[in-house]
């Protein structure tokens, strides 16, 4: 890797949105995660966990209180009293059904994926029948006093256990009547006990967690308490049980994750005992999920944490947006930062020519905030609120900004002269075809805008006249089977690549008539999905990184893998020093064209195809990067084809500004911590 100056951008401080609830699709290992801003992230857990797709919130869906998979369909309920089914291709709502009983607090699905149960604020349990093409209200069970905060179907689908204030009920689904009502008791006479979470086992044993911090086991057949544990010092909000029903985990406002194991006492008799506990979060834990013996937890801090043993491992995935969230306008040295509900444009600083004694370059010009851009709309209560942003981009010359929300796509002309106030000019009367999009990208010459609309396909717009004019529509139905999650254009502007989560990767080339025509499609790698891809700036090579950390380099002109890629596959090499994080970006050395630079959350890996590959089980050497944080970045020589640099924490973007200037955008863990609310105060050993 050649010597370069590095701009370390630390003013990107997205708000950490709390994780409210999670649901796992066991067969595909897709984890749906809802956050405080009603955004739903679909994480792929098959290999390294990564965000596969994102469904942004809508104006009338301000909160998501329950989330569940029903077959391959995803449903949610919230305080708006709606049962919502999502379209995972268009990444928007598919069906909306009104729930009886005002605000909905919880949802569960039968084992055969044919019915949904929804608990509400007014004490109704709504039963819905799910068909292939519709969701039909079937009935609701007898109304109870007080709200239903949690519910669970038993494995036979004949009974439902529900939790509310001071009581747990067992319902016969067929008759709609409550069979048993079990009271929890209170910590104080005036303070009701809230049952926050519940689970029902194969033998009709019911497990509940409540606001007293107690984990209680009940016999659902006779409606009696079996045993109770003072598990936590405060509310238990979340619980999950293993598939074998011999282990469970619980946590809540007291964030310690406590494990209980089922042990055999005598022949035919079993007992639940407290086992280990894990300190993973400092703030409230809102939900827990078990997948492949790995425990996933999420809560107020916004981190999705994964813990497992053996070996004892903890991995925490930060609350950052799905790529791309950063755009560099190289010609004017601007950077566009995408947040969940607004955009920011900054002018990057310039360094002085002389370095100090430590070889650090000081800033001659400070970075300058130029623009904040958001879309305000009125919700159902006629209040102005910010609309969530799906995607955004900025042209290379800094004159165009585009972003899309769930309701509209907006294009702006942007102009800034040094010493003057930046001006933003909205482009009115856009063509009807210029609609909500999932991916947007400008060509390097800033003359064309390419969109990936919600309904599929690609659209190419000409911007020369100052108004977008549709010049080409590209059908992708035959080559892409899923949502377009990657849209990349080469530095020359001659090659376009699109990809979906099913590993379909397709390339188009600009012909003599200035139209895009399909030239090749990569072989489908069915074992994993791509997490990043990039086109080489000087040759027709495409580098793709997959979730299982397999890297391929594909020669698009010869339509085959390169020799370097075949060597990697032959040696079955794992080039990544950490198996825990997905690769976020791929770039190429501007001066040494063959050198590939990749990064994840904390590691930068440099791959030089001209150097010999290390042994199959050899560790990737870690190289010191001199003064990377403040000035000139230079690497010590390395004889291996791969070497790693560990310098950052939560590195979300790495890209070139010029031939000798690199931009690294980092979200500091401290900036995340500063935005979090206070956590439960607990006495620790050695402190007052």
Q: Is residue 184 part of a domain?
A: no
**477-505 per-position pLDDT tens digit:** 999 999 999 999 999 999 999 999 999 99
Q: Which domain holds residue 326?
A: 322-521
Confidence grade of residue 628 (pLDDT, cut at 50, 70, 90): very low
Q: Is residue 472 part of a domain?
A: yes
Check: CB of residue 586 under 8 Å from CB of residue 598. Answer: yes
As to burial, measured by CB atoms within 10 angstroms (0-12 exposed, 13-18 middle, 19+ buried), residue 79 is middle
Hey, which residues does 401 pair with through a beta bridge? 394, 412
Q: In sequence order, what DSSP letters do the residues of 112-178 get, joined into one string?
A: TSSEEEEEETTS-EEEEEE-SS-EEEEEEPPP-SS---EEEE-TTSSEEEEE-BSEEEEEETTT--E
Confidence grade of residue 625 (pLDDT, cut at 50, 70, 90): low
Structure tokens at 357: 């004694």
Do 662 and 621 share a structural domain? yes
Q: Is residue 425 part of a domain?
A: yes
**349-406 per-position pLDDT tens digit:** 887 776 665 666 777 788 999 999 999 998 877 888 999 999 999 999 999 999 999 9
Do 380 and 413 share a structural domain? yes
Structure tokens at 269: 């008799």
Closest Cα partner for 556 from 589, 586, 533, 573?
A: 533
Check: CB of residue 79 under 8 Å from CB of residue 68. Answer: no
Structure tokens at 333: 């040295």
DSSP at 621? P
Do 556 and 411 share a structural domain? no
Give the per-residue pLDDT at 631. Answer: 46
Q: How far apart are CA 144 and CA 162, in angstroms?
A: 11
Average pLDDT over residues 96-100: 95
Helix (H) or strand (E) segment spanning residue 461:
strand 458-462
Residue 636 reports pLDDT greater than 80 = no
Hey, which residues does 141 pair with through a beta bridge? none
Cα-based torsion angle of the residue sequence 226, 236, 148, 96 in order, rounded to the nearest 10 degrees = -130
Confidence grade of residue 151 (pLDDT, cut at 50, 70, 90): very high
Give the per-residue pLDDT at 659. Answer: 87
Do 667 and 570 share a structural domain? yes
Do 500 and 441 share a structural domain? yes
Q: Burial letters for 169-193: b for 16+ Cβ neighbours within 10 Å, e otherwise?
A: bbbebeeeebebebebeeeeeeebb
Q: Is residue 335 part of a domain?
A: yes
Q: How far apart are CA 164 and CA 203, in angstroms?
A: 22
DSSP at 323? S
Average pLDDT over residues 46-63: 90
Confidence grade of residue 624 (pLDDT, cut at 50, 70, 90): low
Do 619 and 485 share a structural domain? no
Q: How far apart are CA 397 and CA 378, in angstroms?
A: 33
Q: Is residue 333 part of a domain?
A: yes
**641-670 per-position pLDDT tens digit:** 888 888 899 999 999 998 888 999 999 999
- CA Rg, the chain, in Å? 27
Average pLDDT over residues 139-162: 95
Q: How many separate domains does the chain show? A: 2
Give the per-residue pLDDT at 687. Answer: 64
Do 487 and 610 share a structural domain? no
Do 348 and 460 share a structural domain? yes
Do 603 and 501 share a structural domain? no
Do 510 and 569 share a structural domain? no
Q: Is residue 302 part of a domain?
A: no
Q: How far apart are CA 296 and CA 43, in angstroms?
A: 11
CA neighbours within 13 Å on the CB side: how many for 7?
A: 30
In percent, the amount of the chain with pLDDT more than 90 equals: 76
Contacts of 372 (CB under 8 A, 6+ apart): 342, 343, 344
**279-338 per-position pLDDT tens digit:** 999 999 999 999 999 999 999 999 999 999 988 999 999 999 999 999 999 999 999 999
Mean pLDDT taken over the chain: 91
As a whole number of Å, the end-to-end CA separation of the chain is 51
Give the per-residue pLDDT at 627. Answer: 43
Do 495 and 412 share a structural domain? yes
Residue 224 reports pLDDT greater than 70 = yes
Q: How far apart are CA 591 and CA 593, in angstroms?
A: 6
Helix (H) or strand (E) segment spanning residue 569:
helix 563-571
Q: Is residue 574 part of a domain?
A: yes
In percent, the amount of the chain with pLDDT more than 70 equals: 94
Q: How far apart are CA 130 and CA 59, in angstroms?
A: 26
Closest Cα partner for 542 from 590, 576, 495, 584?
A: 495
Do 511 and 597 share a structural domain? no
**582-598 per-position pLDDT tens digit:** 999 999 998 887 899 99
Task: Kindly report the CATH number assigned to the domain that includes residue 432.
Answer: 2.130.10.10
Q: Is residue 313 part of a domain?
A: no
Check: CB of residue 379 under 8 Å from CB of residue 60. Answer: yes
């Amino acid at each position: 890797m050649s010597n370069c100056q590095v701009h370390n951008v630390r003013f990107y401080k997205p708000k950490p949105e709390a994780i409210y609830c999670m649901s796992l699709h066991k067969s595909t290992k897709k984890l749906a995660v809802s956050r405080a801003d009603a955004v739903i992230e679909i994480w792929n857990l098959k290999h390294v966990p990564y965000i596969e797709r994102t469904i942004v919130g809508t104006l009338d869906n301000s909160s998501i209180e329950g989330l569940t998979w029903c077959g391959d369909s995803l449903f949610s309920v919230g305080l708006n009293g709606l049962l919502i089914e999502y379209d995972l291709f268009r990444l928007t709502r598919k069906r909306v059904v009104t729930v009886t009983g005002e605000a909905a607090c919880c949802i569960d699905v039968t084992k055969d994926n044919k019915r949904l149960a929804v608990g509400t604020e007014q004490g109704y349990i709504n039963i819905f029948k799910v068909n292939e093409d519709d969701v039909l209200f079937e009935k609701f069970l007898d109304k109870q006093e007080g709200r239903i905060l949690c519910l669970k179907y038993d494995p036979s689908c004949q009974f439902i256990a529900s939790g509310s204030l001071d009581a747990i009920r067992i319902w016969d689904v067929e008759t709609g009547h409550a069979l048993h009502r079990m009271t929890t008791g209170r910590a104080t006479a005036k303070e009701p006990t809230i049952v926050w979470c519940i689970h029902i086992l194969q033998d009709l044993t019911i497990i509940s967690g409540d606001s007293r911090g107690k984990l209680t086991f009940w016999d659902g057949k006779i409606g009696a308490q079996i045993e109770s544990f003072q598990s936590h010092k405060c509310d238990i909000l979340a619980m999950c049980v293993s598939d074998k029903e011999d282990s469970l985990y619980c946590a809540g406002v007291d964030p310690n994750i406590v494990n209980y194991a089922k042990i055999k006492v005598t022949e035919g008799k079993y007992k639940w005992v407290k086992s280990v506990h894990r300190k993973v979060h400092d703030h409230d834990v809102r939900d827990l999920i078990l997948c492949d013996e790995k425990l996933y937890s999420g809560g107020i801090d916004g981190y999705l944490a994964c813990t497992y043993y053996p070996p004892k491992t903890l991995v925490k995935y930060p609350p950052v947006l799905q790529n791309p969230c950063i755009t560099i306008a190289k010609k004017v040295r601007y950077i566009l930062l995408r947040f969940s509900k607004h955009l920011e444009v900054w002018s990057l600083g310039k360094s002085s020519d002389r370095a100090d004694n430590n070889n650090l370059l000081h800033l001659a010009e400070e970075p300058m905030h130029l623009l904040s851009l958001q879309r305000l709309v009125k919700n159902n209560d006629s209040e102005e609120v910010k609309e969530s942003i799906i995607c955004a981009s900025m042209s290379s010359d800094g004159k165009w900004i585009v972003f899309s929300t769930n309701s509209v796509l907006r294009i702006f002309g942007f102009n800034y002269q040094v010493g003057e106030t930046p001006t933003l000019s909205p482009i009115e009367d856009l063509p009807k075809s210029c609609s909500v999009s999932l991916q947007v990208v400008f060509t390097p010459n800033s003359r064309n805008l390419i969109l990936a609309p919600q309904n599929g396909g690609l659209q190419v717009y000409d911007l020369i006249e100052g108004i977008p004019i549709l010049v080409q529509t590209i059908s992708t139905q035959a080559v892409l089977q899923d949502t377009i999650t990657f849209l990349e254009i080469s530095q020359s502007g001659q090659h376009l690549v699109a990809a979906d989560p099913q590993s379909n990767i397709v390339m188009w080339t600009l012909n003599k008539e200035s139209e895009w025509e399909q030239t090749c499609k990569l072989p489908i790698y069915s074992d994993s999905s791509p997490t990043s891809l990039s086109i080489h700036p000087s040759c027709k090579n495409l580098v793709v990184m997959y979730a299982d950390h397999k890297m391929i380099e594909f020669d698009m002109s010869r339509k085959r893998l390169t020799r370097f890629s075949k060597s990697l596959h032959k040696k079955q090499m794992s080039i990544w020093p950490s198996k825990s994080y997905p690769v976020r970006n791929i770039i190429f050395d501007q001066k040494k064209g063959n050198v590939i630079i990749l990064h994840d959350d904390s590691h930068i890996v440099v791959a030089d195809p001209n150097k010999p590959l290390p042994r199959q089980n050899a560790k990737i050497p870690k190289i010191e990067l001199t003064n990377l944080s403040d000035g000139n970045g230079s690497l010590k020589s390395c004889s291996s084809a791969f070497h790693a640099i560990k310098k950052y924490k939560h590195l979300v973007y790495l890209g070139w500004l010029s031939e000798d200037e690199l931009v690294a955008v980092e979200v500091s863990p401290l900036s995340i911590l500063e935005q979090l609310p206070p956590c439960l105060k607990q006495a620790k050993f050695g402190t007052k």
